Structure 1
Amino acid sequence: MNLSELTTLRVGGPAARLLQPATRDELVATALELWSGFDEWFVLGGGSNVVVADEGIDGDVLRVVTRGIERTDSGIRVQAGEPWDGVVEYAVANGLAGIEALSGIPGTAGAAPIQNIGAYGQELGETLVAIDFLDFATGDVLRLPTAELGLGYRTSELKRGRLGVVLSLELALTASGDGLSRPIAYEQLAKDLGVQPGEHVPLAQLRAAVIALRASKGMIWDAADPDSISAGSFFTNPIVSENFARGLPSDAPRWPTEPERPPRVLPLGAPIPVAPASGEYLVKLSAAWLIEHSGISRGFALPGSGAAISSKHTLAIVNRGHATARDIVQLAGYVQTRVMSEFGVLLQPEPVLVGVHL
């Protein structure tokens, strides 16, 4: 079987073997058996955040398909092969708040902490308590609390190279007796819902609004929608120094990442202290803005290529029906070059690249 059949981009050649253990115990046993040899191996979840080479993988692919969601005292425990959107659907249906804005994100639950998925003002790290992790180095099943995962913007210690297999997730969710979401933290979402940022709406209403927003950008996988045959956002929003950001055009979106200092209350008549000098902070930029203003528009494609920029969302590279992995990375590299030439920013790919390079 070509891995193109198991990835949302629909590119990728065969693997030496495709292994799909059905239970957690079988998953552990299969992984340990793989690791006892010297063959190459790769762990695959939902295939939504990966670009696999046209030649495939010269090794074994361990596909995580274990299923199951159970209630805990503080939230839920989820097996790694559970589709992520099914996890959100379960939470919303059971009046559990905390991940409702993460609706519609493709892929499996096990991949969520690797990427520290986030959208519309929520990130997984806000609710993740711990993961069960089969560690490649020791062969042990470890319970890793969130603090040990090094979660950051679309990254983690797992993405940065700690090898193993995520077996399950434990999430702390809020039992919402009134069925309301957590405070809405994303302005566009609040606007679509007709409320102000910081307000609450019914969980099901927020989930429906998020799914509609994602669908409007081609970010809900649908075989009938060519703009959804993608790996989602192909580039992360770059984070640069404040000084560098000041050199960009004034209309370039930017979001300082330094947390605000808490207000200080001084006794009446006390002298006002001199504010301590702060170091230069970092600024997050909009990758979509950089792409669009480097001259690459929605629907753009290189001559003769089967890959294109989505007609709905400039951050997505789509397969127009006959793209190869080579087409995908050539277009991504072209985007990188244009943005670097125009703004001096090197965009970083969000998907995992297997056997291909930018």
Structure 2
Amino acid sequence: MARFDGPLLEKLSAVAGLEILEPVAFAQLTSLHVGGTPRGMVRATTSDALAHAVKLLDEASVPLLVVGGGSNLVVAEGDVDLVVVLAANDAVNVSEQGIVHAEAGAVWDSVVATTVEHGLSGIEALSGIPGSAGATPVQNVGAYGAEVGDVLTQVKLYNRETKETGWVKPEQLELAYRYSNLKFTNRAVVLEIEMELDPSGVSIPLRHLGGQQVPVAEARASVLELRGQKGMVINPEDHDTWSAGSFFTNPVVDKALADEIEAKVGEEGMPRFAQPDGREKLAAAWLIERAGFRRGYPAEDAPVRLSTKHTLAITNRGGATASDVAGLARTIRDGVEREFGVRLVPEPVWIGMDIDDIQK
């Protein structure tokens, strides 16, 4: 096992903008509030320090995980064999032309709020999404008809293979629905992002408002209200928000299977959205509910439950473990597959385990 002590700690301590911290459990670092304790922890307050920390740990063959808001992680319990690199570089700059530059550690919703204050349109529909700016291109964060990939102009990466830092264009990331070629690969670390927004002050067409365009401040308020009703805006006092957000991605299936599902359920208005390749995107929450899983499933006293506000969120009621989360996720996934022949795919990143509760 590679050592995280002595000479390595001296090298890390010598980096400007890097601080060695006493490690704390992932239960304190993630929005799901589960997970054990890493071997070590460092905090980077600049992009250069973030890249340097990753470089030094890689050269020492020490496993690491870059953590921003911790909103998309399910981490195994016990001792977790890696070092956490906290992304605390959080500067946000907005130009008169609508160019927005955000460092990886900036709180995403604060970035959105800043752009709305400047009357810029493009990411107002992404209000209230937890996590950091650096995570948004990794899974092409989106909601209510918008994706961060719609406005990205470039992303600054530290390439862990070449050990070089540089800006790349969005097309180099192969962005797709909740996907980029950064996801699950660990090949590079996002240091900063740049977006070009519309200075008109009028929102994009909002799906939840039937395609209406409204002033960006009004759009942000409506999105925050809607997300709040679903328990998707973090509130430490509300266990419905102790989650990893939407736990499953919306599945894309053949049109024939979508037809079968709609006929089997026998309801008008099944959510289904045509895709460029002829397939259709279905709503995971709709499938979960029609497979028999209701809000608050399985029971009021269960340590982990579906949110009482929204069936797409798996929530920690205060004392859940990562195994509890995996168990409920497995039950939901398998139940939907039995009922409809659709295998839901988890959206969070699993650390030290997977949905089948297999330790890694």
Q: Same fold by TM (over 0.5)? A: yes
Residue type of the alignment partner of 1:16: R
- Which residue in 2 is equivalent to 1:213? 226
- CA positional deviation for 1:120: 1.0
- TM-score of the superposed pair, with normalisation by structure 2: 0.87
Per-residue CA distance 1:171-213 (angstroms, 9 max, x = gap): 011112xx3223x230x3x1xxxxx52x421111110110000
Asked if structure 2 preserves the Cα contact closer than 8 Å seen for 1:302 and 1:331, the reply is no
Residue type of the alignment partner of 2:47: R
Per-residue CA distance 1:262-301 (angstroms, 9 max, x = gap): xxxxxxxxxxxxxxxxxx7111011111111111111002
Which of 260, 263, 272 pairs up with 1:254?
272
Residue type of the alignment partner of 1:341: R
- CA positional deviation for 1:244: 1.9
- Which residue in 2 is equivalent to 1:3? 26
- Which residue in 1 is equivalent to 2:113? 89
Which of 292, 295, 298 pairs up with 1:298?
295
CA distance in 2, matches of 1:302, 1:324: 16
Alignment of 1:180 with 2:177, yes or no, is no
Per-residue CA distance 1:288-339 (angstroms, 9 max, x = gap): 1111111111100269741000010000000001100000000000001111
- CA positional deviation for 1:253: 2.3
- Which residue in 1 is equivalent to 2:148? 124
Alignment of 1:225 with 2:225, yes or no, is no
Asked if structure 1 preserves the Cα contact closer than 8 Å seen for 2:306 and 2:312, the reply is yes
Asked if structure 1 preserves the Cα contact closer than 8 Å seen for 2:104 and 2:134, the reply is yes
Residue type of the alignment partner of 1:33: L
Which of 178, 200, 218 pairs up with 1:154?
178
Residue type of the alignment partner of 2:350: L
CA distance in 2, matches of 1:153, 1:140: 28
- CA positional deviation for 1:71: 2.5
CA distance in 2, matches of 1:200, 1:247: 35
Worse-matched range after superposition: 316-325 or 244-253: 244-253
- Which residue in 1 is equivalent to 2:20? none
Residue type of the alignment partner of 2:311: T
For the pair shown, the structure with the greater C-alpha radius of gyration is 1
- Which residue in 1 is equivalent to 2:325? 328
Asked if structure 1 preserves the Cα contact closer than 8 Å seen for 2:54 and 2:64, the reply is no
Write the mapping of 1:58-207 to structure 2, written as runs, cut at 5 A.
58-72=81-95, 73-176=97-200, 179-182=201-204, 184-186=205-207, 188=208, 190=209, 197=211, 199-207=212-220
Asked if structure 2 preserves the Cα contact closer than 8 Å seen for 1:75 and 1:171, the reply is yes
- Which residue in 2 is equivalent to 1:349? 346
Alignment of 1:243 with 2:256, yes or no, is yes
CA distance in 2, matches of 1:138, 1:180: 42
Structure 1 residue matching 2:310: 3-state secondary structure: coil
- CA positional deviation for 1:25: 1.8
Residue type of the alignment partner of 1:321: G
Asked if structure 2 preserves the Cα contact closer than 8 Å seen for 1:75 and 1:96, the reply is no
- Which residue in 1 is equivalent to 2:43? 20
CA distance in 1, matches of 2:331, 2:217: 40
| Structure 2 spans left out of the alignment, 5+ residues | 1-23, 356-360
Alpha-carbon spacing, 1:304–1:54, altered in 2? closer, same or farther (3 Å): farther
CA distance in 1, matches of 2:79, 2:218: 42
Identity %: 41
CA distance in 1, matches of 2:62, 2:281: 40
- Which residue in 2 is equivalent to 1:50? 73
Asked if structure 1 preserves the Cα contact closer than 8 Å seen for 2:89 and 2:105, the reply is yes
- CA positional deviation for 1:39: 1.9
Per-residue CA distance 1:126-148 (angstroms, 9 max, x = gap): 10011000001000002110011
